Structure 1
Amino acid sequence: MTVRVMLVSPATSEELREARFGGDGPLDEAGARRARAATGAVARVDRFLSGPSRRCRETAAELGAAPPAEVLGELGDWDMGRWRGRRLDEVGVSEPEAVSAWLSDPAAAPHGGESLLALCERVGGWLRSLPDDAGRVLAVVEPAVARAAVMHALSLPAEAFWRLDVAPLTLTELSGRAERWNLRCGRPLSAGSG
């Protein structure tokens, strides 16, 4: 049986606009309004999941899909350790060598959190754990988690992570099972799609 995994990136928040690492603030009003407008955009799902960040949980609630979203820790955002909550430009000024290592070495975690390889392995483990009869799975996840899922699904080299972009409130779809996935990415989430 084919599994359909629909990854929705959360709507906008102040932290996203400020390029903060792992900020966990609420959706901004424009983001909440866009998420409400997308209610019903995804048809029937067998399982509705959310990453644990406030932004993901609020987006899931605004989308209103049934059943209610189950929050899974393994769908959490990239653990940025001591950089969490800081802006990229701040860290770039105070720790330029660390940022350079983080951007160039997929095994590096100068911030004390997860390396890119660890993130991709965690998200890949979740994809591998889905049973063949999982049906239609919708998960509201941070952009880094969606990117890691694509990396795993397509067996891309780690360097490709930095070349993937996931815009707010877009749908990335994986269909298949086990280690054989197909990709449909970047579709805007709007009423009537799905």
Structure 2
Amino acid sequence: MPDASDLDSLFVKVSELLVATADTADADIDRAVPEVLHSLREKLGMDVVFVSEFVDGERVMRFVDKAAVAPPVHVGDSGELESSYCQRVVDGRLPELVHDATRWPDLPPTPFRVGAHLSTPIVLPDGKTYGTLCCFSSAANEHLRRKDVDTLRMCAQLVARKIDSADRRRVPEWTLAPVESPKKR
């Protein structure tokens, strides 16, 4: 069962990072995101936490933190988006908090057992859904609460801020140098 004081301290840490990290503090966000996600997984007692990106009908794992004994989920893994829990959460067919996924008869099959599942969309400042922040365990967990989803959402905001700042740094190189048109003969 998650310790409420540990989750409260994580909630405070994420809140402080969201308030304190201005656009010029990208390095702070870069260092904080993996640490926060690792803490989130441990404090919620989950086996895996991951950030997925939705790309051309696929769900691609961009960040994965997992326990020593956990299902085989790795950075770069991908699968059909429509047959994922992630898509169901984003479009409202599955709630963000599922205590025991085995009680949901219409979920897509997975190569490993999913018990407890928490997921929330990662929404960028322009309103686009980048993907999801999810965590799950093979065992059911009736102790998870709405506050755990709130903490997950705050972590998703932190991830969205990192993604947005990274996207802004990837401006393609271009110049305003005039281009001469070919001379006519």
Scaled by the length of structure 1, what TM-score is found? Answer: 0.28
Scaled by the length of structure 2, what TM-score is found? Answer: 0.29
Q: Point out the structure with max Rg over C-alpha.
A: 2
